[in-house]
Amino acid sequence: ILNVEQSPQSLHVQEGDSTNFTCSFPSSNFYALHWYRWETAKSPEALFVMTLNGDEKKKGRISATLNTKEGYSYLYIKGSQPEDSATYLCAHTGGFKTIFGAGTRLFVKA
Amino acid sequence: GAVVSQHPSWVICKSGTSVKIECRSLDFQATTMFWYRQFPKQSLMLMATSNEGSKATYEQGVEKDKFLINHASLTLSTLTVTSAHPEDSSFYICSAREREKTYEQYFGPGTRLTVT
């Protein structure tokens, strides 16, 4: 994998559902993996920065895991709420550059 | 903390004119600022990196004479799109890196540019 790929592109869930997204990135030359939450008309907000293989981070109902050897990260949202509706971006920092995925657009229906 | 503002949030201009977009770090000093461009349903694409007091470093394929970047102070960077054309219509977003924090970038809310 040469680029950062995120799946799915979009996701519709019901309030209360738990969900997860995938970020795939080049496994070589790894420095850091970032997750951002981006609401419409606002600035992307940093959720997590992970640097070590096996890292797990948690903030409230949102958590993330990192596997640098196989080049993927998962973002989990437990008990989705309408306010979780946003685009979730991941970005891989390797060498001196940070490359972004196209994002996963989450819609949570009340 | 770590707030970045961007102005304007949207702008419409006529083909051939120039447009300036400002990016400010409001509560921290930004030694490095980044300018990105995003087309619909695509990733943020880095256009250039600017360090305070020095010339910007442009990514391959980005015309430095068309996209003028100035980072005159530790809190302000500007992007000027010169002689804009309809194909320059896009979403432009800046981010700033705080001194000594090498991983994290703080983003502005972006600017929607439409060239008619």
Is the CB of residue B37 less than 8 Å from the CB of residue B52?
A: no
Q: How confident is the model at residue A74 (pLDDT cuts 50, 70, 90)?
A: very high
pLDDT of the residue at B100: 67
**Contact yes or no for A46 and B9 at CB 8 A:** no
**In chain B, which residue's Cα lies nearest the Cα of A105?**
B41
Quote the radius of gyration of chain B (alpha carbons, Å).
13
Quote the radius of gyration of chain A (alpha carbons, Å).
13
Chain B residues with CB under 8 Å of A9 CB are 41
Q: How confident is the model at residue B62 (pLDDT cuts 50, 70, 90)?
A: very high
Q: Dihedral sign, CA of A64, A70, A71, A72?
A: negative
Q: Which of A43-52, A87-96, B6-15 has the lowest mean pLDDT?
A: A87-96
pLDDT of the residue at B24: 96
Chain A residues with CB under 8 Å of B103 CB are 32, 34, 49, 51, 93
Nearest of B79, B76, B101 to residue B25 by alpha carbon = B76
Query: What digits encode the pLDDT tens for the residues A6-62?
Result: 999 999 999 999 999 999 998 888 889 999 999 998 999 999 999 999 999 999 999
One-letter identity of residue B18 = S
CA angle A61, B97, A35 (to 5 degrees): 25
* Residue A33, min C-alpha distance to chain B (Å): 9
Query: What span, in angstroms and rounded, lies between the C-alpha atoms of A70 and A4?
Result: 13
Nearest-by-Cβ selection for B109 from A4, A36, A42: A42
- Give the strand order in the sheet containing A72-77: A5-7, A19-24, A72-77, A62-67, A56-59
Chain A residues with CB under 8 Å of B109 CB are 41-43
